[in-house]
Structure 1
Amino acid sequence: MEQEAPSQAESTTEDTVTLRPFDLADVDPMTAWASDPVATAFVTWDPYTSREALLAFLRDTVLPHPWFRAVCLGGGAPVGAVSVTPTDDRCRAELGIVLARAHWGKGVATAALKRTVAAVFGDLEGVERVEALVDVDNAASQRVLDKAGFQREAVLRSYCVVKGRLRDMVIYSFISTDPVVE
């Protein structure tokens, strides 16, 4: 079956997505997604309601984190974040991603995840598997993971509480020997 070539817009977006470590100056652009209840609807944390709280999160959690990256377009300000957090079982790590709504549906998240798996296995010693848990109702994130080369493994029933509701989650994985999707 022939594959359709990516549209010019998708190609351009994918080429301009970069990942970099955060710094304290990123606090203001972070509010575009970190304070948005729609952008954070499927994450386990509540939206940030103050600049001070977000700055404390950036200083105390993001900066010392082993793999927490700003998702940027070109050399610009962050439009999202991706993190890969090693678990107690050092061969596994958990993926998290959030993106400002203005950039949804444009290939930014897919490009960020492709760049993540291309880099993270070399950056985090001993990590052989990256896992992503996605709410069963979050079809858009499931499509992004599929496009980025993650494998859907199972539905975990009544797996966790998100925003006060018991949720079913879909688990995806990418292992170090999986081919990086171009």
Structure 2
Amino acid sequence: MDVQRPAAGGPGAVGLRPARESDVDLLEALTNDPATVGEYQWFGWHDPGYLRRRWRDTGLLSTEGGMLVPTAEERPLGLVSWHRTRTGPHTYCWNIGMVLLPEARGHGLGTEAQRLLVRYLFAHTQFNRVEASTEVGNRAEQRSLEKAGFTREGVLRGFDFRDGEWRDHVLYSVVRADLSS
């Protein structure tokens, strides 16, 4: 299940593929190493074997959510993830996230990875909405989401706790009808 498209403003193509066992150490660094994750993704240390166990048990793909590895010219760029979020008594949407390696940031690769993930989720699930949020101060991610086709919906006050403070987030979404307009 490789999904691939030319990178916006960059050489080669961005693709998404399932995680391989050889990716697990990289994925652990992208979630558990403050130097790798970056300012807006460091939430403190956590169980270092968590992703290895999830990979062994599910391949990081389940009906509740998953992780894929974005690539450029076969080189891993980071991870994209999604999980099911309740929107009503009988309905759900996908909530997505992304962490890129420091060298992959700022080149439009994340924008394309998020665009591919939305298309993948709409092609293979019946959910009507994909949402993402980012800290109010993370202007680069806000631009990336907008370029990927997301609509800014509003500010979620006191939404997330990071580095000793409650942080406001900006909520974005894309619905199926947005892809046809």
TM over 0.5: yes
Which is worse superposed, 164-173 or 20-29?
Answer: 20-29
Name which of 80, 83, 87 aligns with 2:81.
83
Residue 27 of structure 1 corresponds to: 24
What does residue range 65-84 of structure 1 map to in structure 2 within 5 Å?
65=62, 66-76=65-75, 78-84=76-82
Asked whether the 8 Å contact 1:29–1:79 carries over to 2, the reply is no
Q: Distance in 2 between matches of 1:114 and 1:148?
A: 5
Q: Distance in 1 between matches of 2:39 and 2:26?
A: 19
Deviations 1:115-142 (A, max 9, x none): 11121112223x1111111101111111
Aligned residues: 170
Residue 120 of structure 2 corresponds to: 119
Residue 175 of structure 2 corresponds to: 175
Deviations 1:69-108 (A, max 9, x none): 11111223x2211112111344311111000001111111
Percent same amino acid among aligned pairs? 33
Q: Distance in 1 between matches of 2:42 and 2:85?
A: 17
Are residue 152 (structure 1) and residue 152 (structure 2) matched?
Answer: yes
Q: Distance in 1 between matches of 2:114 and 2:31?
A: 19
Alpha carbon RMSD of aligned pairs, Å? 2.8
Change (3 A) 1:36 1:19: same
Residue 3 of structure 2 corresponds to: none
Q: Distance in 1 between matches of 2:74 and 2:56?
A: 22
Q: Distance in 2 between matches of 1:91 and 1:49?
A: 28
Q: Distance in 2 between matches of 1:164 and 1:141?
A: 22
Q: Distance in 2 between matches of 1:55 and 1:67?
A: 13
Unaligned ranges ≥5, structure 2: 1-6
Higher strand share: 2
Unaligned ranges ≥5, structure 1: 1-8
- For normalisation by structure 1, the TM-score amounts to 0.78
- For normalisation by structure 2, the TM-score amounts to 0.79
Runs (4+) of structure 1 exceeding 4 A deviation are 47-50
Q: Distance in 2 between matches of 1:100 and 1:32?
A: 9
Residue 133 of structure 2 corresponds to: 133
